[in-house]
Amino acid sequence: MVEPLREANRGLSAYARSAFRGLSEDATRLAIMTHENELESLGFTTRAIHAGQEPDPRTGAVVPAIYQTSTYKQDGVGGLREGYEYSRSANPTRTALEECIAALEGGTHGYAFASGLAGSDAVLRAVLRPGDHMVIPTDAYGGTFRLVDKVTQHWGVDYSTAPIADPQAVAAAMTDKTKLVWVETPTNPLLGIADITAIAAVAHERGALLVVDNTFASSYLQQPLALGADIVVHSTTKYAGGHSDVVGGAVVVGDNVAVEEYAEVAAMIRFNQNALGAIAGPFDAWLTLRGLKTLSVRMERHCDNAEKVVEFLSARDDVTKIYYPGLAEHPGHEVAAKQMKRFGGMVSFEVVGGMERALEVCDATKIFTLGESLGGVESLIEHPGKMTHASVAGTALEVPPALIRLSVGIEDADDLVADLRQALDSTR
């Protein structure tokens, strides 16, 4: 009876499960289903604050505990308490985060990892086998490209690139061996937009899964599973955590994977999470869970500030191009408006003067911090060609040399605009 109960309980917080202690297996399953249905009826911010985070029934603590433990006492051989035996396999703090992120993405299976790339690796290993083929964007995060090009290829997996703004181009890049289409939307760093529903149809028609990296949009602004995606991945280091104090990743899968061959992909990812061991530690999981509580209010401020930054940049004669899906002239604007709540906090732009001037601007800001990563409360500035995307130099994914990427934080917008103004003026 232990194993069925363990699987029934998987993904439900320790606090919620404690309320079901002593019930029969069928009663436990019914209670869990009722609990999940109640969560689905709640608004996003309510789920962010409460999913996986019920008050401790013993002490009444409203914040989940940090279960800083490696192992658990068993009630006899195989007699596991609440399904926990070893913290690589499962930990109550991580379970709380996994339940929360799954609820926010509208999925049923959530898995927390040590980094976004660790989660991506688990997905690739779950889906792909030697001889398979995948499609990735011509504009993608440098770390994703490095993982696919330098690691996955060595397993015997081939790949092609395609402009994900064009579903037909994605279809043309597929072969009879394509098992997975991987998209970011918005993309990093050119803020390209993929029509998730259209690409899902293209992928599924050819028997491939669609994976969407939802890091730039966040769970608050976009729901890929509802739009037809099969798997969602996040670097929770970014907007989910939101405070630049924790590295992590997440993978979410829904119940209705469109390709029958991969009906058990959630279980395969779960197996890889345990077998590969790149799991989120309890303190990291707790920090990420804390960040998710304020995701909606932070994203609104990020969007407000980004729009004001874009308005300022649009008036500059030394800014030659702005990449922001909120602009009406952005080629993906209509799709973004359809599938996103707002247009996000990331802005990229090119300046007159090429790479040399772009580097000078990055060095001249005072409030915008020169640094990699994104999605924190503080504003960051970087030169993708020399920093986050150096690994794609000389490939189809190479970025423009004059490109600057901004992660617009939640400081006062007037201060951010003034900082960019002085940096641009001082480098003319």
Q: Which residues are catalytic?
A: 88, 141, 213, 238
Residue 233 is given by DSSP the state E
Contact (CB, 8 A) for 333 and 199 = no
Rounded CA-CA distance 302/11 in Å is 30
- Cα dihedral 219, 146, 178, 136 in deg (nearest 10): 50
Tell which residue, 94, 105, 109, 113, has the closest CA to residue 47: 105
Question: In angstroms, rounded to a whole number, what is the distance separating the alpha carbons of residues 57 and 36?
Answer: 19
Q: What are phi and psi of 94, to 5 degrees?
A: -65, -40
Q: Where are the alpha helices (DSSP H) in 174-324?
A: 196-205, 218-221, 265-276, 282-293, 295-314
User: What does the CA dihedral 141, 146, 147, 152 come to, rounded to 10 degrees?
Assistant: 130
Contact by Cβ (8 Å): 200, 254: no
What residues are paired with 233 via a beta bridge?
213, 251
SS3 128: coil
Distance CA 363, CA 365 (A): 6
Q: Considering only CA atoms, which of 129, 190, 123, 134 is closest in space to residue 392? A: 190
Helix (H, G, I), strand (E, B) or coil at 263: coil
Helix axes 265-276, 116-127, angle to 10 degrees: 120
Please count the other Cβ atoms lying within 10 Å of the Cβ belonging to residue 243: 15
In sequence order, the β-bridge partners of residue 381 are 370, 406
Under DSSP, the state recorded for 150 is: I
Render 313-340 in DSSP notation, one character per residue: HHT-TTEEEEE-TTSTTSTTHHHHHHH-
